[in-house]
Amino acid sequence: MVAVVEQLPVDALHWLVSLGPILVLLVLLIRYSWPAHVAAVVAMFLAAGIAVALFQTPALALAVAAAKGVWDAVFILYVVWPALLMYLITQRAGALYAIQKGLQDFSTNDLFLVLAFGWVFVSFLQGITGFGAPIAIVAPLLLALGVRPVYAVAIPLIGHAWNNNFGTLAVGWFATDSVAPMQAPVETAIHTSLLHTIPIVLGGFAIAWLYGRSDALRHAWPMIVVIAIVQSVALLLVSIYSPFIAGFLAAAAAMVALYPLSRWDRYDTQHQPFDRPAMSEQMRQDVATDGGTPAEDETGEPEPLMGLFEALLPYLVLLVVAVVVAFPAVDEILGQVEVGFPFPAVETGYLEHDAEDPYEPFAILTHPGTIILVGVVVGWLLYRRRGYYEEWQEVMETSPHVEEEPRFRRSLLENGAPASLAIVLLVVMATIMVDSGQITVLALGIAAVVSPTIYLFLANAIGVLGAFMTGSNTASNIMFSPLHDQAAAELELPQWTVLGAQMTGGAVGNAISPSNVVLGTGTVGIVGDEGEVLRKTIPWVLAVTVLVGVLTILVAGFAFAGGA
């Protein structure tokens, strides 16, 4: 619980200074291409210095905020390391290679497969697991399809974003309701779902654009329209009755819709040749000019050691476990085993934070990291028993088409250690900014100088800011929903529309959160290229934020006209 000791200084100086750590982080990542774990050190110490110098944060309060940040980072790291293990145990057994080859039998259309995994499947995973796990799982799968590493991270970041609020069984929705009780839950569900149509639709089109620019858009638009309609309509209808399962069922409906689309000649075979910047492989030259079936593969590439089902088995196991754990009865039983630590009460010059015992405990048995570990153990035991690790090692040593990888332990440490350091530093920075009041000053400063219409336009941008800093739609909703509740009352705006904009922005902001980006780069072995990923996702987030802002104004206008 946070209490106000003295009115926060919402003035130009404090607002601009509070923006400093965010700007420095972005400039170092994007303009100068610093690795995230290096840029985060500078931004974190800047945030700490501002907290002490301008927000009257004593050493104890600063230390407690930093310790909270480390603990919050542990929650994320328990996804990063199991996901990295999943990637390595499947890669070293030749399973990722088998997935790449096997999926070409399901559909030889690369664009269809990229959309199916990077937009539909990743949002389905977000519906049940969340907490970064979908990015860590899908990015390596896209890599196996031949997607370039930077795009393999950027695509699922964009594709999963729409389902961050209603996904993970609506944890973001319920967090909002807990800190800003909804005056009209049905209206809030309707307005939030309507606003979600923007990231749903633009997510599909953005992924197609990244894949192959305008040529890909022309080829993929029917598929995108069908999937977007299924996701949007299902989300709207289900959320009215049960927000708890709305994200999961909407994404599941889209998964079902993939099958008839894959049987359509347009997506059953490879598309016409055009430039594909997202793909690491050249367009197959044996694609028929009429879009027919490619000729027999004459590249000399080795045959997979296993079938597609066996290669996907670890992922299928974690999916089944996640669905079982999501049942309320199972979750209630397993959720009783929690891990957490107490933190003392602290006070800054402006805010007072109550003691928490425990602080942010998490249920270890239902945590996504544990679910992933189940898949890791099953996959490792299966592949080891079948002798795939030894066989694939021989393939790597003898085939010119398969690159030999560094030793397992070396790969694990080289990818996991820098990513883990960056995540810890970024979350500590965010916690310091939150606990010292810097984030609140940024939000209050925006609300203090704008008209009701402009506030409606910017409401989702505040949600984006919160998710950018914390890597969590839930944390963004917890931080800013009380502010929106108060602002809606003062500006005489419909609470349900403003909260809907916050939840939508909080979902979208995950696509540019440095901690999520680092999680993705760590699982595909490109730690240090976070700036390149952000260059792909930031334009999409900006476009979605603007359009959601416009739609928020329109939806609020209808609410006023209808007397909602």
Q: So what's the pLDDT on residue 294?
A: 39
Neighbours of 391 (CB within 10 A): 14
Distance from CA of residue 163 to its chain's centroid? Answer: 9
Q: What is the pLDDT of residue 320?
A: 84
* 69: DSSP letter: H
Q: Are 158 and 286 in contact (CB under 8 A)?
A: no
Ranges of H-type helices in 145-184: 149-160, 167-179
Question: Cα–chain-centroid distance for residue 378?
Answer: 26
**Each residue's pLDDT expressed in tens, for the chain with a length of 564 residues:** 666 666 889 899 999 999 899 889 878 877 887 877 888 899 999 999 999 999 999 999 999 999 998 998 887 788 778 877 887 888 889 887 887 677 666 778 999 999 999 999 899 888 866 667 789 889 988 998 899 999 999 999 999 999 999 987 687 888 788 768 899 999 999 999 999 999 999 999 999 999 999 999 999 999 999 999 999 999 999 999 888 788 988 998 998 899 899 889 999 888 999 999 999 876 654 443 344 433 334 456 788 899 888 988 988 887 788 778 878 899 889 999 999 999 999 999 899 999 998 988 888 998 878 888 999 999 999 999 999 999 988 888 777 656 556 677 877 787 678 778 887 887 888 889 889 988 888 878 877 888 999 999 999 999 998 888 777 787 788 778 877 887 888 788 999 999 999 999 999 999 999 888 988 998 888 988 999 999 999 999 999 999 999 999 999 987 666 554
Whole-angstrom distance, CA of residue 76 vs CA of residue 2? 24
Q: Is-above-0.85 flag for pTM?
A: no
3-state secondary structure (DSSP) of residue 283? coil
d(CA 395, CA 399): 6
Task: Determine how many CB atoms are found less than 10 A away from the CB of residue 289.
Answer: 7
Question: Can you say how many angstroms the Cα of residue 340 is from the centroid of all Cα atoms in its chain?
Answer: 24
**Distance between alpha carbon 170 and the CA centroid of its chain, in Å?**
15
